[in-house]
Amino acid sequence: MASSTYVKAINAALAIAMRADPRVFVMGEDVAEGGPYTATAGLAEEFGTARVRDTPISEAAICAIAVGAAQAGLRPVLEIMFIDFITLALDPLVNQAAKAHSMSGGQLTVPLVLRTQGGAGTRGGAQHSQSLESWLTHVPGLKVVMPATAADAAGLMASAIADPNPVVFVENKALYFKREELPDAPPAVALGSARVVRSGDDVTIVALSRMLGEALVAADRLAREGVEAEVIDPRTLVPLDLDVIVSSVERTNRLVIAHEAVESGGLGAEIAARVQAAAFDSLDAPIARVGAPFAPVPLSPPLEDAYLPGAEEIYVAVRTSLGLAALGS
Amino acid sequence: MAKKASVGPPDAAGAFDAPTAIGLLRTMWRIRAFEERVGVLKRADEVYGLIHLSIGGEGVAAGVCSQLRDDDAVYSGHRAHGHALAKRAPLERVLAELMGRSDGLCCGMGGSMHLVDVEHGFMGATGVVGGNIPMALGAALAPRLEGGDSVAVVFFGDGAVQAGHFHESINLATLWELPVILVCENNGFAEFTPRSAHTKVERVADVVAPYGLARETVEGSDVRAVWEAFGGFLQLARGGEGPFLLECLTHRLRGHYEGDAVAYRDALSADEWQRKDPLVQLTRVSTAAGWLTEDELAVIEAEARSEVERAVEFARASAYPPVELIGQLVYAAGTPS
């Protein structure tokens, strides 16, 4: 075990995959220089700029190039610097990568990893702070991964690169430099396996990405008030490990779903729909969702702080689910 | 004309001789017979979806693909039947695909605009105009990173040139010096609108001029010109050079898609079509050179038409794919080697 960070774990996972397989290569804007968050720092020095390819600001073309390269047998790891810019890459991602296997009758595979990062809290404004992952979960053929910890970032990256399908790997910029004890070789994490991060019998909290830390803060506060929350990190949105969530809800009878994305149309709606269909008789309260308001991310610090959901909102949602008033903090 | 050293297709352009011309004529007649039959099948509602025929463009498909190997990647657009056939996709399976049958190239999952035949390096047609261009660049990265002398070729129309991904791709292909040959079929129409209504730049070769890539504009009806120009680029690309742009001025005899009323342009006179029909042109060249007789030509045409009729029977006899296929092909299972 050694002290590491989320971004270092990603960097190390990329290096391990590149050492193991010469077909793996990295491309994106500024990747040879390490990118704005150092996720690819040092890779060009070890593997050369043919395998760590800087690209112009041409998201549509570089995503399609990655698709073509994957179809030709290479294993591209493409970086789209901010998920906000994925709009420019959606044609190759949605119309080409996601459909190639099906449209070709199974002839083509697209072993592509699209790394990107989202999330607010850095005063980045409305075009550098979004959480757009739920769009991608609506596209059959894509897998969508959203690690919340350094260990999972490393383990999921290994599985994403090994996967024969296009995988969108959504990192969170606010987690990059959070310190975490990490084994030297974190084990691979299978896509589609949720993790029960904290056990409890009174309520289930499903928390995505950065909301996991917030949910754990809320759970500690609730525990001091005699409420034991079970906290689950789905880790991958597609495929979604519904079984772990449903079996938890069958025990706790209450569910709160937290994500940083706008609540309306977010993944919480999908999880809520699936859980009520699978465990309607187990529910003692309406499923609650915690997400951002239906508004673009504001710049001004007090406004952005008010906009972002966090431990307080999760705490209130749990208390409400239990029919309890929130206590003063 | 001085005879070039003949290394012969499929590796590189040698002399344009009798076997070359006859091979091209066979391919072009197969495409022509296929497309004419598909037009009839469309009117009978036996092929599905939007059907874009390439009658008038056979010379480009044949002149380019006849020189390629199976490990050369070809990407095409929505008007792809001819390219797939010229790249040696089995004709009866192409037709079965258009008819949505289980024996189709893609098990009936893709259709006319999404033909794929990986075995022969036909890596895919796409229904999104211009979206195929950067994908071919990705295919050209493989020999760059893994070695080998395979190349990538992408066919697109002049309508794709006004799309952003065309310009991003030209920039990247030249920046990275990729072994890719961009083949533009400039038929002067983007869907229903003449090129003049979409851009001030008449020639696609002029659009890319600032990037300094080698480029050539030829008459698409002159198969020999297409074959020689492409062969020259191919030889250089095999040696690791690139990219190249070959602009072929073609005429689309039919509308944008089958059923298009074609109210936006005047029909060609029979005389004009004779001048623009690549089959007529190559026939004239071949018979004048004494490479084959009218009788032999008639046999080539008859063989092509009977192959297409057999394909119609093959496709009609093929079952529709099972409904279970919808869910089975969404994701590739397991880890590819």
Q: Which residues of B touch A91 (CB under 8 A)?
A: 128, 131, 165
Least confident interval from A68-77, B63-72, B270-279: B270-279
What pLDDT does B155 receive?
97
Of residues A61, A64, A164, nearest to B336 (C-beta): A164
Whether A295 and chain B come into contact, CB under 8 Å, resolves to no
pLDDT band, very low/low/confident/very high, at B7 (cuts 50, 70, 90): very low
Interface ipTM above 0.85: yes
Query: B99 CB near a chain A CB, below 8 Å?
Result: no
Flag whether A329 is in a domain: no
The overall longest dimension of chain A from CA atoms, in Å, is 60
pLDDT surpasses 90 at B260: no
Tell me the nearest-neighbour CA distance from A274 into chain B, angstroms.
19
Kindly report the pTM of this predicted structure: 0.94
% chain A with pLDDT above 90: 97
Residue from B264, B275, B284, B316 carrying the catalytic annotation: B264
Distance (Å, whole) CA B202 – CA B205: 9
pLDDT of residue B273: 75
Q: Is the dihedral of CA A105, A107, A111, A114 positive or negative?
A: negative
Interface with chain B: mutation pick from A94, A104, A236, highest number of B CBs within 10 Å: A104
Tell me the per-residue pLDDT of A223-275, one tens digit each, with 9 for 90 and over. 999 999 999 999 999 999 999 999 999 999 999 999 999 999 999 999 999 99
**What's the alpha-carbon Rg for chain B, to the nearest Å?**
19
User: What are the C-alpha distances in Å from B102 to residues B79, B94, B98?
Assistant: 22, 11, 11
Domain boundaries, chain B: 21-259+267-315
Q: Report the distance separating Cα A320 and Cα B40, nearest Å.
A: 67
The average confidence (pLDDT) of chain A is: 97
- Preceding omega of A76 cis (within 30 degrees of 0): no
Chain A contact probe: residue of B75, B78, B103, B135 with most A CBs at under 10 A: B135
Residue B236: strand pairing partners: none
- DSSP 8-state class, residue B5: P
Backbone angles phi, psi at A237, to 5 degrees: -90, -35
What residues of B are in contact with residue A23 (Cβ under 8 Å)? 145-146
pLDDT digits over A122-145, tens only?
Answer: 999 999 999 999 999 999 999 999
Contact assessment for residue B184 and residue B146, using Cβ atoms and an 8 Å cutoff: no
pLDDT, tens digit, 9 for 90 and up, residues B189-204: 666 677 788 888 889 9
Total number of domains in chain A: 2
B113 in reach of chain A (CB within 8 A): no
Chain B residues close to A64, C-beta within 8 Å:
131, 133-135, 137-138, 165, 169
Tokens of B181: 């040959």
What average pLDDT is seen over chain B?
90
Residue A327, domain member (yes or no)? no
Which band of pLDDT confidence, cut at 50, 70 and 90, is reported for residue B263? low
Question: Which structure tokens are listed for B90?
Answer: 């089995």
Q: Which amino acid is at A125?
A: G
- Whether residue A241 lies inside any domain: the answer is yes
Same domain? A202 vs A128: no
Question: Residue A159 sits in which domain range?
Answer: 2-182
How many residues does the structure list for chain A?
329
What amino acid is encoded at B318 in this protein? S
B167 in active site: no
Residue of A nearest to B116 (CA): A104
Nearest by CB to B168, from A60, A103, A143: name it.
A60
Contact criterion met (CB below 8 Å) for B58 and B32:
yes
User: Last residue of a domain, which of A160, A182, A204?
Assistant: A182
Q: Residue B112's CB: how many other CB atoms inside 10 A? A: 27
Closest CA to A247 of A216, A213, A219, A282: A282
**Which parts of A96-202 are beta strand (E)?**
113-118, 143-145, 167-172, 179-182, 195-198
Residues from chain A contacting residue B175 (CB–CB below 8 Å): 56
Residue A165 lies in a domain: yes
Rounded to whole angstroms, the Cα distance separating A171 from A243 reads: 24
Cβ–Cβ contacts within 10 Å for residue B288, how many? 8
Q: Using the 3D structure, point to which of A131, A158, A182 is the last residue of a domain.
A: A182
User: Is B48 marked active-site?
Assistant: no
- Give the Cα separation of A318 and A210 in Å (integer): 18
Lowest-pLDDT range, A29-33, B264-268, B306-310?
B264-268
- Cβ contact, residue pair A92, B171, below 8 Å: no
Output the CA torsion A199→A202→A206→A210 (10° steps).
-70
Read off the pLDDT of residues B53-78 as tens digits, 9 standing for 90 and up: 999 999 999 999 999 999 999 999 99
Looking at the domain assignment, is residue A29 inside a domain? yes
pLDDT band at B6 (very low <50, low <70, confident <90, very high): very low
Q: How far apart are CA B330 and CA B326, in angstroms?
A: 7
CATH of the domain at A218: 3.40.50.920
The pLDDT assigned to B254 comes to: 67
CB–CB contact B124 A141 (8 Å): no
Res. B216: pLDDT tops 80:
yes
Question: For the segment B278-291, what is each residue's pLDDT rounded down to a tens digit?
Answer: 999 999 999 999 99
Q: Is A59 a catalytic residue?
A: yes
A50 and A138 assigned to the same domain: yes
| CB proximity A103 to B under 8 Å | yes
**B19 CB contacts (<8 Å, ≥6 apart)?**
none
Share of chain B above pLDDT 90, in %: 78
* Inter-residue contact B187 to B57 (CB < 8 Å): yes
Are A178 and A199 part of one and the same domain? Answer: no
Last residue of a domain, one of A157, A182, A207: A182
Q: Do the domain assignments include residue A56? A: yes
Same domain? A76 vs A209: no
- Residue B173 Cα, gap to closest chain A Cα (Å): 10
Q: Which residues of A touch B136 (CB under 8 A)?
A: 68
Residues of A in contact with B124 (CB under 8 A): 71, 100, 104, 108
Q: How far apart are CA A10 and CA A19, in angstroms?
A: 14
Q: What is the mean pLDDT of residues A164-192?
A: 95
Given A59, A79, A230, A304, the catalytic residue? A59
As a residue count, chain B comes to: 337
Residue B337 scores a pLDDT above 50: no
- Round to whole Å and give the CA distance between B8 and B27: 17
pLDDT band at A199 (very low <50, low <70, confident <90, very high): very high
Does position B276 have pLDDT exceeding 90, yes or no? no
CATH number of B21-259+267-315: 3.40.50.970
Residue A303 is predicted with a pLDDT of 98
When CB atoms are compared, the residue of B128, B133, B330 closest to A102 is B330
Buried b (16+ CB within 10 A) or exposed e, B295-318: eebeebbeebbeebeebbebbeeb
What local confidence, expressed as pLDDT, does residue B268 receive? 66
Q: Flag whether A45 is in a domain.
A: yes
| A134 CB-side CA count, 13 A | 17
A326 assigned to some structural domain: no
